Amino acid sequence: MAGKPKLHYTKGRGKMESIRWLLAAAGVEFEEEFIETKEDLEKLRNDGVLMFQQVPMVEIDGMKMVQTRAILSYIAAKYNLYGKDLKERAWIDMYVEGTTDLMGMIMYLPFQPSDTKEKNLALIIERATTRYFPVYEKALKDHGHDYLVGNKLSWADIHLLEAILMVEECKPDILSAFPLLQAFKGRTSNIPTIKKFLQPGSQRKPPTDEKFVAIVRKIFNI
């Protein structure tokens, strides 16, 4: 039997968090080897295991996979979370790209200068409520199913729940105008594997704080 996937990243959310989410939702146990110093990162680079000298890196099925999107799509396909045909896959990809754009804005917020944070936080909330969430609300309304694609849990649903919870950390009542997304959040949060991941003590990482920003800046020279 193949060993558990091993995740190489810092001890925070960043680009690895969606990978943690997807593995956890698929019911896959994984190990983590944290990069805590500049030397840890340099060792990985010197060992030649980072194709583009970057993390995240995931050891899975005998591969040392890099590039977040490649890792996520591999996991989604492996665990039957990527639709039944090319059309469903295309829809999943479109939805995932949308939530990735929104989550990217939130991910970089703690690294921005304090004088621009308020403006950027307002932009995140505006984009969530006018550009992104209306798309998912409409999708659920139009097809009347519990899930975004093919009436079956997919990567798109897992990614959307992660995005919703991230935006709620910025504005707790963000879903007040989106009743179908509220119901979606309730349903998907109660899927046993996801519910377990949302419990305290899981491998889910907390929101990025100033202390973690300082560690990341040091490791990556930014």
Q: Are residues 57 and 153 in the same domain?
A: no
> Would you say residue 3 has pLDDT above 90?
no
Residues 75 and 95 grouped into a single domain:
no
Per-residue pLDDT tens for 131-177?
999 999 999 999 989 999 999 999 999 999 999 999 999 999 999 99
For strand 57-60 and strand 63-66, is the pairing parallel, antiparallel, or unpaired? antiparallel
Backbone angles phi, psi at 163, to 5 degrees: -65, -45
* Res 144: pLDDT: 87
Q: What is the pLDDT of residue 15?
A: 95
CATH of the domain at 61: 3.40.30.10
Phi, psi of 43 (to 5 degrees): -60, -45
Number of domains forming the structure of the chain: 2
Look up the pTM and report it.
0.95
pLDDT at residue 2, as a whole number: 63
pLDDT at residue 111 is higher than 70: yes
Q: What is the pLDDT of residue 222?
A: 81
- Please report whether residue 163 resides in a domain: yes
Q: Quick one: average pLDDT of 184-188?
A: 97
What integer pLDDT is reported at residue 42 of this predicted model?
A: 95
3-state SS, one letter per residue, for 49-106: CCCCCCCCEEEECCEEEECHHHHHHHHHHHCCCCCCCHHHHHHHHHHHHHHHHHHHHH
Same domain, 55 and 33: yes
How confident is the model at residue 7, as a pLDDT? 98
Which pLDDT belongs to residue 115?
87
Q: Are residues 93 and 164 in the same domain?
A: yes
**Of 165, 111, 102, the residue nearest 134 (C-alpha):** 102
Over residues 88-115, mean pLDDT = 95
Same domain? For 131 and 178 the reply is yes
Quick check: is 65 in a domain? yes
- Taking the C-alpha atoms of residue 148 and residue 159, their distance in angstroms, rounded to an integer, is 11
**CA 95 to CA 149: how far, in whole Å?**
9
**Between residues 144 and 22, the one the model is more confident about:** 22
Return the pLDDT at 1.
45
206: closest CA among 11, 8, 7, 5? 11
- Residue-wise pLDDT for 69-92, tens only, equals 999 999 999 999 999 999 999 999
CB 133 within 8 A of CB 160: no
> Is the domain of 178 the same as that of 125?
yes
Q: Residues near 202 by Cβ (< 8 Å), separated by ≥ 6?
A: 24, 196
Mean pLDDT, to the nearest integer, of 25-33?
97
Q: Are residues 130 and 202 in the same domain?
A: no
DSSP letters of 143-207?
A: H--SSSSTTS--HHHHHHHHHHHHHHHH-TTGGGG-HHHHHHHHHHHTSHHHHHHTSTTSSPPPP
* Residue 92 and residue 149 in contact, taking contact as beta carbons nearer than 8 Å: yes
Residues 66, 144, single domain; the answer is no
- 1 in any annotated domain: no
Mean pLDDT across the chain: 95
Whether residues 56 and 94 share a domain: the answer is no
Q: What is the mean pLDDT of residues 35-56?
A: 95
Do 213 and 148 reside in the same domain of the chain? Answer: no
Clarify whether residues 135 and 211 are in a common domain: no
Supply the range of the domain harboring residue 50. Answer: 6-79+198-220
